[in-house]
Amino acid sequence: MTTSLTTEAAGTQSRTAASTTGQRTEAEFARAEAHTAHNYHPLPVVVAHAEGAWMTDVDGRRHLDLLSGYSALNFGHSHPRLLRAAHEQLDSLTLTSRAFVHDRFADFTAALAALCGKELVLPMNTGAEAVETAIKVARKWGYEAKGVPADRAEIIVMSGNFHGRTTTIVGFSDDPDARDGFGPFTPGFVPVPYGDEAALAAAFGPHTVAVLAEPIQGEGGVVIPPAGYLRAVRRLCTEHGALFLADEIQAGLGRTGRTFACDHEDVVPDVYILGKALGGGIVPVSAVVADRDVLGVLRPGQHGSTFGGNPLACAVGQAVVEMLATGDLQRRALELGTAMRERLEAMVGSGALAVRTRGLWAGIDVDPAVGTGRDVCEALLARGVLAKDTHGSTIRLAPPLVIDPEDLSWGLDQLAAVIS
């Protein structure tokens, strides 16, 4: 972990960053734009090095990372334990494909199954792959275990959802940027308002095989459902003989102060969908985790991934699981999150209209009089802080769980200065 910048030193850096653009940054940004499809609208910063919660750009300016790669960097940049696991594995074996078994596979899957309290693990690579996998498993389970007629399976999904950007997934998104222009879409999905128990109850039918939900909607702006909603999802799924598929890709693995966001309501879903932090910020690792009566419906040849569960991914993923098994990072997220919540709530009425927090994760609705979420993020960049906007007027904060309290406090100082 890097040494924290003092507030005075960080402030000096911020004033410098605000007054100079940086020739290398401009040049590298332009070079990247020249040959890149515009599927992202990145902030004008070009990162060259990172450690802990700090990133350094090509012009040598340091920036406090309050995004953590959408939770992919829960453990910060270049965590020594995770780098050591990766380096050791790189020297021995990186890929076999699933045509063969390698010596890291059993340990990783056993450790992750134990962390989740489930029996089986199906490793994949990206979060979207894991969601697609869960959808296939739920449909197969519906036909074989529940007896739903062929090709009639339905999965209930939530308004405001974000599960990835494959064609199946965007078909049940209500975000026009994600959806428009990519049809025709896959049928079999029934949307309901997020957090509305009555609407959810009314949506169940004889062909319902699953409910797919984020316990907290990250891309939506850290939207937390009403208290008791996740328990209602669990109860209704049990009553109707359907699976609860919990997309914990952003919310899980320590981000909210518990191992899983579902833990806040003592809810155990049938299927955990995991990703992002599972790769330790080093390699893409995702997984679907469930008991044998669910994942056991898959047979050889029915699903796969060349890189899923590769030796390097398993080595890093196992180190991540071992770190989470102690509970130390979850407790740290809870403690730092409490301090962050208090600071953010004090900003309501002073540039913020509302804030939503759970653990070390926050969504802040910015007063339009201040500017858009993008405006705020650009102003924060000029002060040496990196954050991300969503849905126009909302910004998200997801500091690394290893962030020093002084650095977090300084970063929140910059936010208060920008929006007040």
Residues involved in catalysis: 162, 247, 276
Q: What would the 3-class secondary structure string for 17-76 be?
A: HHHCCCHHHHHHHHHHHHCCCCCCCCCCCCEEEEEECEEEECCCCEEEECCHHHHCCCCC
Q: What tokens does 274 get? A: 């995991």
Peptide linkage before 368 cis (omega within 30 of 0): no
DSSP lists the bridge partners of residue 386 as: 65
Q: What is the DSSP string of 307-323?
A: STT-HHHHHHHHHHHHH
Contact 120, 295 (CB under 8 A): yes
Helix (H, G, I), strand (E, B) or coil at 224: coil
The CA distance from 330 to 334, in Å, is 6
CB under 8 Å to 406, separation ≥6 — which residues?
4, 7
- Segment holding 352, helix H or strand E: strand 352-357
Please give the Cα distance from 198 to 218 (Å, whole number): 23
Q: Cα separation of 103 and 110, whole Å?
A: 13
DSSP secondary structure code for residue 306 in this structure? S
